Amino acid sequence: MAGRCRARYRTEIADRRLPVLLDNASAVKQVRLLLPGTPSCVVVVTSRDSLAGLVAVHGAQRLNLKPLRKDVAIALLHTLIG
C-alpha cells in the first residue's frame, strides 16, 4: 500500500471503534501494513499460515480452527442468511 493511501486509511479510522477483517493473509508484512495502530479497533486475521511475527511483535492471539464440514457450513449459512 502506498504511503499516501496508508496515511489516509489510518486517518479515516483514527478514534473510531471498528472491526477490521483481513481475510486470507499470506504474510506478516501484508497484515502489518493494514494494522490500524489504534486500540479502539479490533483486528481479525485469517490465514492458512501461522503468521508467528504477529504474535511475537504485535501480541496477537492465535486461534487454530479446523475447516467446517460442507454440510455444517451449509447449515450455518442457512441459519445466518436464510
Dist CA 23 CA 53 (whole Å)? 17
Overall pTM surpassing 0.75 (yes/no): no
- Residue 1 pLDDT: 54
The mean pLDDT value of the chain amounts to 89
- Which of the 8 DSSP states describes residue 24? S
- Mean pLDDT across the stretch 4-22? 89
